[in-house]
Amino acid sequence: MSEAPANSTPQDRSAAASYVAALSGDLASIARSHGLDTLGYLLDMARLEAESASRPPSSQRNA
């Protein structure tokens, strides 16, 4: 996996991940509504990963 650009802030990274999560969730719904269940599943996995990436690391959540 590639590293974030040097000028990327944690807020930028979180915002991008949140956006990807929203888009992939919408795309998963579209895929399933057209009978593309495997593609819908994969897009849901991408959504879950993006949601995870949009949260701060656990060490920062409890601080």
Q: What is the pLDDT of residues 13-61, one digit of tens each?
A: 999 999 999 999 999 999 999 999 999 999 999 999 999 999 987 766 5
- Tokens at residue 16, please? 């991008």
Q: Does 4 fall in a domain? A: no
Residue 31 falls inside a structural domain: yes
- Examine residue 17 and state whether it is found in any structural domain, yes or no: yes
pLDDT computed for residue 28 by the predictor: 98
In a domain, 23, yes or no: yes
4 pLDDT band (50/70/90 cuts)? low
Q: Tell whether 43 is covered by a domain.
A: yes
Asked, for residue 59, whether it belongs to a domain, the answer is: no
Host domain of residue 28: 11-54
Residues contacting 51, CB < 8 A, separation 6+: 17, 18, 21
Residue 1 lies in a domain: no
Which amino acid type is present at position 13?
R
On whether residue 6 sits in a domain, the answer given is no
pLDDT, residue 14, reads 94
Q: How many angstroms separate the CA atoms of 7 and 40, rounded?
A: 33
Q: For tokens 């509504």, name the residue.
A: 33
- 7 pLDDT band (50/70/90 cuts)? confident
* Phi-psi category of residue 58: left, alpha or beta, with phi > 0 → left and psi -120 to 50 → alpha: alpha
Whether the model pTM is above 0.85: no
Q: How many domains does the chain have?
A: 1
